[in-house]
Amino acid sequence: MERVKQVVHAKEVYKKGYSGKGIRIALLDTGVFQHENLEGNIIYFKDYINHRKECYDDNGHGTHIAGILCGHSSHNEKRFFGMAPNAELLVFKILDKNGSGSTDTAINALDWIKHNHRRYNIKLLNFSMGYLPNTNPKMQERLIERLESLWEEGVTIITAAGNNGPEENSISVPGISRKVITVGSSDDIFLENERLRYGGRGPTSCCIVKPEILAPGTDILSLSINPNGFSKKSGTSMSVPIVCGALALSLEKSPQLKPVEIKLLLYDTVDPVSSKNINAWGILNVDNLMKML
Helix (H) or strand (E) holding 213: strand 213-215
pLDDT band at 134 (very low <50, low <70, confident <90, very high): low
Per annotation, catalytic residue among 61, 64, 72, 117: 61
Per residue in 208-257, pLDDT tens? 778 999 999 999 999 999 888 999 999 999 999 999 999 999 999 999 99
- What is the domain count for the chain? 1
Active site residue 29: yes
pLDDT band for position 280 (cuts 50, 70, 90) = confident
Per-residue pLDDT reduced to its tens digit, 52-63: 999 999 999 999
Does residue 72 carry a catalytic annotation?
no
Q: 23-44: per-residue pLDDT in tens? A: 999 999 999 999 999 999 999 9
> How many beta carbons lie within 10 A of that of residue 276, not counting itself?
7
Distances in Å between the alpha carbon of 92 and those of 29, 57, 89, 273?
A: 6, 11, 10, 35
Q: Is the peptide bond before 259 cis (omega within 30 degrees of 0)?
A: no
* Domain residue limits at 119: 2-291
Catalytic site residue from 19, 237, 239, 250: 237
Cβ atoms 195, 183 nearer than 8 A = no
In the residue annotation, 128 being an active-site residue is answered as: no
**CATH at 271:** 3.40.50.200
Q: Is 211 strand, coil or helix?
A: coil
Q: For residues 201 and 262, give the distance between their C-alpha atoms in angstroms, rounded to a whole number.
A: 22
For the segment 106-132, what is each residue's pLDDT rounded down to a tens digit?
Answer: 999 999 999 999 999 999 999 998 876
Among 9, 19, 29, 224, the active-site one is 29
Separation CA 141–CA 132 (nearest Å): 13
Task: Answer whether 0.85 is exceeded by the pTM.
Answer: yes
